[in-house]
A and B are shown apart, each in its own frame.
Chain A
Amino acid sequence: MIRLLLLLPFIGLMIVPFYNIREPYLFGFPFFYWYQLAWVPLTSLLTYIVYRSVRRAG
């Protein structure tokens, strides 16, 4: 079941109308940009969580 975490980046990035907006800004970046950039470390983290469980399982 933990593998389903890998679907979150797909969902988070395919809902384009949700993040196709300017505000809130972060460090001068409109939401559209920092939201997508934030998915990079988030995806790595989710992958790491899945990796830990897969590695233990064998």
Chain B
Amino acid sequence: MLANVDSAAFAVFLVLFILVTGMGFVAARWRKPETLAHLDEWGLGGRKFGTLITWFLVGGDFYTAYTVIAVPALVYAVGAYGFFALPYTIIVYPFVFAVMPVLWKVAKNRGYVTAGDVVRGAYGSRGLELAVAATGVLATMPYIALQLIGMEVAIKALGLSGEVPLVLAFLVLALYTYSSGLRAPALIAFVKDIMIYIVVIAAIAIVPSKLGGYGAIFTAADAAFAAKGSGGILLSPAQIVPYASLALGSALAAFMYPHTLTGVFASSGGNTIRKNAMLLPAYTLLLGLLALLGYMGHAAGLKLASNNDVVPELFKTLFPSWFAGFAFAAIAIGALVPAAVMSIGAANLFTRNFWKVWVDPKVTPAGEAKVAKITSMLVKVGALLAILLMPTQFALDLQLLGGLWILQTLPALVFGLYLTWFSSTALLAGWAVGLAGGSWLAWSDGLKPLHGMDFGAGKVAIYTGLLALVLNIVVAVVVNLVLKGLPQARLSREAA
């Protein structure tokens, strides 16, 4: 297991990992509440996180370890197209600024913890609540698995082999999330994000000087794509609509996920969220520069077994081993924060919108916290088993579908904040058709995120999730119009 390990890198990695583990357990006493046996405390950290903590927490769980590995890998493989993550993580913030403070206010005033709570409050519909909650849990599971893939890449880069290190790291994560709740990833996010900033700034400052500057890096990437005969440092005409629609669809989906919503609900107020919409783009700048590591891989002439190795290999080739160890620790720790918040978000949904509604309506706040703690554990074990037992591609495919699914909860969650026109039946119908139709399209396209559409002027490929959202909204509008035409439906709605 330890045959190919560089001792300096491993020592740095181990020290940082132990430090963070300690912080995870100590976090239970950080900003100490009267009791952790309440979902507001365990699952939302008391709803008191100010601008700085929210910035680290949301930044830490939105820009995940997998992002650090996968975005440069995609850019390395296909070029400009992989950059859609940049417009995506820019336009998401005006949306967050406009919508999330409204959502926070509703949640705070009524004591809501999850998207499911908000939907039930707005429409009084158990069905719609369950639909939103189940979609959230299902979409989050593969996302957690993805974090494990990121961690796996970092552990492998360190020279460790076998699955024992991954299992150990995850066990530690599960235990401190269980005991400290959202406080653990919030505290660890400080360390994780500062480490990631150091790593990326070092990379973008030092690597270009070793490779002859940014001009030379773009030239090298251009030549590599030309030699390969695919990809390029600009988009091909056929990639333009996919690029824009993936950016837009991903931006709309991003804050429908339980983990990002948990970050929003846990903040101390609307202005905290607004200030974060202003400040979080700092991470986007980092992501954009990080994506360029893919091109640096070409400029450095790396020979890779897998595209995902581009970041680790770049660090191993161009930096001293202790700093490579630091970078791998940053990535592995970077996986812990989102994995923890995701499992907490999923656990909150399960507890509030399934357990409390269908199993034990009289559950006490302490009971809720207990159920959520156990669920967070199970969710993580499930993700771990999925990674250990199933092919990696399975998690990637599910993650793709997960993005499409979570986007279908947008009308139910967001429309009710502004309009009272839609009925729950119409939104439920839209959700069902969007979810089923979108999944079917993605499935029939071989689990690719793009669907070819013919508008008469040749085929254009569009992000399937966005198509499904359009279908979803159209169905909701039509069903609503039909229902409004039926007087008895109106009566029963007024009675509800």
Contact = CB atoms under 8 A, between A and B. Distances in A.
Interface string B262-278: 00000000010011011
A48 B278 contact: yes
B285 A37 contact: yes
Q: What is the interface of chain B mostly: helix, strand, loop, or mixed? A: helix
A13 to B, nearest CB: 4
Interface residues of B, number: 36
Contacts of A36: 83, 86-87, 90, 288
Interface string B239-283: 010011001100000000000000000000001001101110100
Contact of A14 (B93, B214, B248, B278): B248
A41 B281 contact: yes
Q: What is the interface of chain A mostly: helix, strand, loop, or mixed? A: helix
A32 B80 contact: yes
Interface in A1-42: 3, 6-7, 9-10, 13-14, 16-17, 20-22, 25, 27-30, 32-33, 36-37, 39-41
Contacts of B284: 40
Interface in A36-52: 36-37, 39-41, 43-44, 46-48, 50-51
A46 to B, nearest CB: 8
Contacts of B87: 13-14, 36, 39
B301 interface: no
A6 B97 CA distance: 9
B213 interface: yes
* Interface range, A side: 20 to 34
Contacts of B458: none
A32 B233 contact: yes
B98 interface: yes
Given A21-B234, A29-B214, A55-B271, A3 B98 contact: yes
Contacts of B83: 32-33, 36
Contacts of A37: 86, 285, 288-289
A16 B234 contact: no
Contacts of A40: 90, 281, 284-285, 288
A10 B249 CA distance: 12
Nearest to B280: A44
Contacts of B91: 9-10, 13, 43
B300 interface: no
Given A3-B98, A9-B91, A36-B86, A20 B215 contact: no
A30 B90 contact: no
Contact of B98 (A6, A20, A27, A33): A6
A29 B234 CA distance: 12
A11 B83 CA distance: 17
A50 B214 CA distance: 35
A47 B244 contact: no
Given A16-B240, A32-B80, A47 B214 contact: no
Given A6-B98, A36-B87, A55-B271, 12 more contacts: A14-B244, A16-B243, A20-B234, A20-B235, A27-B214, A30-B218, A33-B83, A33-B292, A36-B90, A39-B90, A43-B94, A47-B277
Interface of B: 80, 83, 86-87, 90-91, 93-94, 97-98, 213-218, 233-235, 240, 243-244, 247-248, 271, 274-275, 277-279, 281, 284-285, 288-289, 292
